Amino acid sequence: VENASIQRAEARFSLCQQLEIGASVPVFSAVGSLLPCKAYHRLVEAAHHLRWHLPEFRVAICGEGRERERLEKLILKYSLE
pTM of the model: 0.75
**pLDDT given for residue 2 in this prediction:** 52
pLDDT at 66: 96
Residue 1 confidence (pLDDT): 43
What's the angle, vertex CA 33, arms to CA 67 and CA 71, rounded to 5? Answer: 30
The pLDDT averaged over each successive group of 10 residues in the chain (81 residues) is: 65 80 85 94 95 87 94 95 81
Identify the pLDDT of residue 42: 96
CA distance 44 to 50: 10
